[in-house]
Amino acid sequence: MPVKIAARSLNSGYHGIAAIHDVDLEVGAGEMVLLGGSNGAGKSTTLMTLAGAISPISGCVEHEGQATTAAMHHRVRAGVGVITEQRTVFMSLTVAENLRLGRGSTETALEYFPELEKRMKVKAGLCSGGEQQMLSVGRVLASNPSTILADELSLGLAPIIVQRLLAALRAAADRGSAVLIVEQHVRAAMPFINRGYFLRRGRVALTGTQEELRKSEEQIRETYL
């Protein structure tokens, strides 16, 4: 299983002040991996550094086995799909127009989210929050990225929508993508993941397979959430 994206002794943060310290993690092709922890633990900082939106202070990010300092738009062109907390849709454009702006095909996006087919002529701003998030995720998945980085997909969404989004990311992993998700709803994410890392005060404090993390669920809940 080739490693698609990795952090190696990664220190990163803002204005020269580290928010994460000596973080080591990796995600291989076909894996869906959870990055968890309490608010302020450094999850989004880690994800955005892997995406190229934040430059490391020290250590490095590797993509496809090679250290990279490329900006985020270059990493996206190289096969990294980034899904941010915000629903990145063009509200004044229809669902169909939003999908056509992506790097993949509309047909592939609808394979992941057939619910959007009946909304194709509707402006994205008139869609529900769940539909907007499906649109954001579907547009990224349609390009068949080798690596997917997803930050807090579930914010403000009903549990049934969260399950749909997680299932779509699992399907992308099963097709060969390396998927890393930041997610507060650990129990919701657990059935879909292969492994997980938990941060505490900017450091990796717990890691394990799905089975190992299930055995530590009480510890996770009390200590990290």
pLDDT higher than threshold 70 for residue 139: yes
Q: Which domains occur in the chain, in start order?
A: 3-224 (3.40.50.300)
To the nearest whole percent, how much of the chain has pLDDT over 70? 99
Instruction: Report the alpha-carbon distance of residue 107 to residue 92 in Å, rounded.
Output: 22
Over range 116-131, report the average pLDDT.
95
To the nearest whole percent, how much of the chain has pLDDT over 90? 83
Q: From 36, 37, 45, select the one nearest 18 (Cα to Cα).
A: 45
pLDDT higher than threshold 90 for residue 98: yes
Q: From 27, 48, 44, 28, select the one nearest 36 (Cα to Cα).
A: 44
The two beta strands, 147-151 and 17-28, are unpaired
pLDDT digits (tens, 9 = 90+) for 157-213: 899 999 999 999 999 999 999 999 998 888 899 999 999 999 999 999 999 999 999
- 0.85 cut: is pTM over it? yes
Instruction: Report the alpha-carbon distance of residue 111 to residue 169 in Å, rounded.
Output: 12
Confidence of residue 225 (pLDDT cuts 50, 70, 90): low
pLDDT at 167: 96
Write the CB contacts of 5 (distance below 8 Å, at least 6 apart in sequence): 26, 27, 50, 61, 62, 63, 80, 147, 149, 178, 180
